[in-house]
């Protein structure tokens, strides 16, 4: 039996599966299980370990939680699925593509898990590598370092920052994480408490707090803002594909730099991150030229 339960009546359309896909590092993420009707996520909350189960029934979501962090997980469940997101100030009309995507993807939401360090660790693993490589590395690291999560599902808790903080960089190599990202993970883990404090700050101050850590830049802070902080204006500047996606969708240009991307997003200031998520939901992508990035190993 779950430790506690609650029913979430979402004031805006939400999609539990989409939310958990946004949080997870792919289908191989051992901390997340996404089902057709019921999905689960293991969390390392400030109150302790928890497993949260979410079952969507139309406009309501039934939430169940297990473990010492169950009450915290339930309290923050609306933010996790995007039910706290307020799109009222978003005007998609400056561009017909965004207007169309906003109509057809009404359940796209900015998430607020409140777990900044957890989101940072996932994002750092994804720095400057292919998506496939990042997913594989995160799964390997989590299975090696995480403990079994409470409750059903056989999930594994995300890695404990105190464990990561005590590792030497070479310990990350078997998981496909080279020295630069490993050392950034260690630095983030060593200031985990300060990182998690960012959940109570303004979005600008939270970004400044995160990017004060060497190795955490605008791309990483933007990724965390969209998942952990509920920042509708967060943009992962420096993304390999995003600048081209935005330029293609909004100007028909197959290639661009970050400055051009931000120029094109300016009419949506305050909700630029929402535009980024809508483009992803619509599977918009610029034409691909040249060879794909190789999958690397770091043994």
**Secondary structure (H, E, C), the chain:** CCCEEEEEECCCCCCHHHHHHHHCCCCCCCCEECCCCEEEEEEEECCEEEEEEEEEECCEEEEEEECCCHHHHHHCHHHHHCCCCCCCCCCCCCCHHHHHHHHHCCCCCCCCCCCHHHHHHHHHHCCCCCHHHHHHHHHHHHHHHCCECCCCCCCECCCCHHHHHCCCHHHHHHHCCCHHHHHHHHHHHHCHHHHHHHHHCCHHHHHHHHHCCCCCCHHHHHHHHHHCCCCCCCCCCCCCCHHHHHHHHHHCCCCCCHHHHHHHHHHHCCCHHHHHHHHHHCCCCCCCCCCCCCCCCCC
Determine the Cα–Cα distance for residues 17 and 136; give it in Å rounded to an integer: 21
pLDDT-based confidence at residue 290 (cuts at 50, 70, 90) = low
Residue 271: phi, psi to the nearest 5? -140, 30
Give the pLDDT confidence score for residue 1 in this predicted structure. Answer: 64
Q: Which residue has the tokens 């779950």?
A: 2
Residue 122 CB neighbour total at 10 angstroms: 26
pLDDT at 42 over 50: yes
Task: Taking residues 33-62, report their average pLDDT.
Answer: 96
Q: In terms of pLDDT, which residue wins out, 1 or 81?
A: 81
Alpha-carbon 82 to chain mean position: 12
Give the pLDDT confidence score for residue 3 in this predicted structure. Answer: 76
Residue 234: phi, psi to the nearest 5? -70, 130
Give the chain's domains with CATH numbers: 4-86 (3.30.310.20), 116-227 (1.10.340.30)
Q: Classify burial at 284, counting beta carbons within 10 Å of its beta carbon; exposed 0-12, middle 13-18, buried 19 or more.
A: middle
Q: Which residue has the tokens 């010492």?
A: 68
Task: Taking residues 134-157, report their average pLDDT.
Answer: 97
What's the chain's average pLDDT? 95
pLDDT-based confidence at residue 299 (cuts at 50, 70, 90) = very low
Give the pLDDT confidence score for residue 293 in this predicted structure. Answer: 45
Rounded to two decimals, the pTM is 0.93
pLDDT at 48 over 90: yes
pLDDT-based confidence at residue 2 (cuts at 50, 70, 90) = low
Q: Note the pLDDT tens digit of each residue in 199-222.
A: 999 999 999 999 999 999 999 999
Give the pLDDT confidence score for residue 121 in this predicted structure. Answer: 98
Residue 55 CB neighbour total at 10 angstroms: 15
Give the pLDDT confidence score for residue 296 in this predicted structure. Answer: 44
Interhelix angle 258-265/272-281, rounded to 10 degrees, is: 100
Tell how strand 38-45 and strand 48-57 pair up.
antiparallel
Give the pLDDT confidence score for residue 295 in this predicted structure. Answer: 40
Give the pLDDT confidence score for residue 288 in this predicted structure. Answer: 84
pLDDT-based confidence at residue 24 (cuts at 50, 70, 90) = very high
pLDDT at 162 over 90: yes
Q: Note the pLDDT tens digit of each residue in 225-256.
A: 999 999 999 999 999 999 999 999 999 999 99
């Amino acid at each position: 039996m779950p430790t506690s339960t609650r029913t979430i009546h979402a004031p805006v359309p939400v999609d539990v599966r989409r939310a958990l896909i946004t949080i997870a590092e792919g289908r191989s993420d051992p901390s997340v299980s996404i089902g057709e009707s019921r999905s689960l996520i293991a969390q390392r909350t400030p109150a302790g370990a928890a497993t949260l189960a979410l079952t969507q029934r139309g406009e309501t979501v039934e939430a169940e939680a297990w473990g010492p962090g169950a009450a915290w997980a339930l309290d923050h469940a609306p933010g996790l699925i995007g039910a706290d997101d307020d799109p009222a100030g978003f005007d998609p009309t400056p561009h017909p593509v965004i207007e169309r995507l906003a109509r057809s993807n009404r359940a796209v939401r900015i998430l607020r898990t409140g777990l900044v360090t957890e989101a940072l660790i996932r994002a750092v693993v994804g720095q400057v590598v292919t998506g496939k490589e990042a997913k594989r590395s995160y799964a390997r690291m989590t299975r090696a370092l995480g403990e079994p999560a409470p409750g059903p599902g056989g999930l594994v808790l995300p890695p404990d920052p105190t464990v990561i903080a005590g590792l030497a960089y070479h310990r990350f190599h078997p998981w496909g994480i080279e020295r630069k990202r490993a050392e950034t993970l260690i630095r983030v883990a060593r200031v985990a408490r300060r990182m998690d404090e960012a959940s109570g700050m303004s979005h600008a101050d939270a970004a400044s707090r995160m990017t004060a850590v060497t190795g955490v830049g605008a791309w990483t802070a933007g990724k965390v803002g969209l998942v952990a902080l509920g920042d509708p204006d967060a943009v992962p500047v420096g993304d390999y594909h995003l600048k081209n996606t935005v330029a293609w969708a909004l100007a028909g240009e197959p290639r661009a730099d970050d400055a051009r991307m931000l120029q094109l997003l300016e009419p949506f200031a305050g909700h630029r991150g929402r535009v980024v998520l809508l483009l992803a939901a619509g599977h918009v992508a610029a034409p691909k030229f040249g060879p794909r990035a190789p999958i690397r190993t770091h043994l």
